[in-house]
Amino acid sequence: MKLNATIAGVGMTRFMKYPDKGLKELGAEAINAAVSDAGISMADVESAFVGNCAAGLVTGQESVRGQVILHAMGVGKIPIINVENACASGSTALIQACTMVSAGLYDTVLALGVEKLSHEDKSKSFAAFAGAMDIDELQEMIEELKRAAEADGADAGAGQNRSMFMDVYASAARAHMANYGTTAEQFAMVASKNSFHGSLNPRAQFQQELSVEEVLNERMIVEPLTRAMCSPIGDGAAAAVVVSEKKARELGITKPVTIASSVMHSGYNHADDEPDTVQLSSREAYEEAGLGPQDIDVVEVHDASAPAEIIAYEQLGLCAPGEGGAHVASGASRLGGRQPVNTSGGLLRKGHPVGATGLAQIVELTEQLQGRSGKRQVEGARIAMAQNGGGKKGNDAAAMVVTILRS
């Protein structure tokens, strides 16, 4: 359906490791910030969609995560719907909130993404990522990744001391290098660029700027990915208040940000000449919004690894296939460039508490379109795009969302 929804307010925590904070505290901080930003009270919220991916494995909280968080804030009675959709949980919560408002069922809906991913036992955190694949096929996937790594002369320790997704991304990176001549230095350019952006973001998990050389000299995780090319484990929450046109007028919003389009697709076993979920979602999002890649002013992509950002440039049509490495090297995706990408620092530097990531992208882009991003502000930004997905099924992401916002 055609969405007709306005973002009235956004808020988020800083992303980092919070040993003394749980889902309730993190969720409440983001919710209170978004509600205050919207100029409403919690009494105005008619429904809530709460995205979370891994609490069952990491904290043991199952089934009623949204109710637990909101009840602690004194909120009950309203419909609270829990959303779990891999790393796209937060963006899925946003789509659901926008759909309810667009359908005329509610005037004010809360979308929250929250994650407590860090744990003193890292195997629990890694297990949360492994669970985003088909567990009946998990051992087969591990063996396939090991064979691919051995064939490329890379470390074959998939699933042992790191997220298996880093092995998936590393395999894709090596294929991109073989097919297009992309270099490890170009992957490092992504991490270095995003470290510069993250150094300007007070809510980023890492705020130290890194040179390309420093990125390359970090500890190797799995060839060609050094530690700085991999998104970190962390905790955090992000939220958005979504309202109808009627409610937006009542609130007197002076700098409205509307959802021009938001499209979701699930993974499928596509042939090499068929579009993947990112291509499917972005093409439909462009068409629905009446826009093209050239119209986008600022972009947040799902850079769970540095190669993922380079590949996303191509999937989203920001550059031609095979030219992602040259694209980052040209400076086009850096602040001051033609289309800055991941001005927040991206997942690499802002952090990746998986259930919160999709909504954190929306927070960043909403503030960019309203001209309140401080030192990382993109001059004259009017149209923004977010690409957020996760999980794996077959040869594709399990869930993918592309959202276009307009000021």
Q: Which of 53, 71, 87, 176 is catalytic?
A: 87
In Å, how far are 135, 137, 156 from 147, measured between CA atoms?
A: 19, 15, 7
Q: Which of 119, 265, 327, 352 is catalytic?
A: 352
CA geometry: angle at 155 spanning 221 and 230, to 5°? Answer: 20
Active site residue 98: no
Active site residue 352: yes
Which residues are designated catalytic?
A: 87, 352
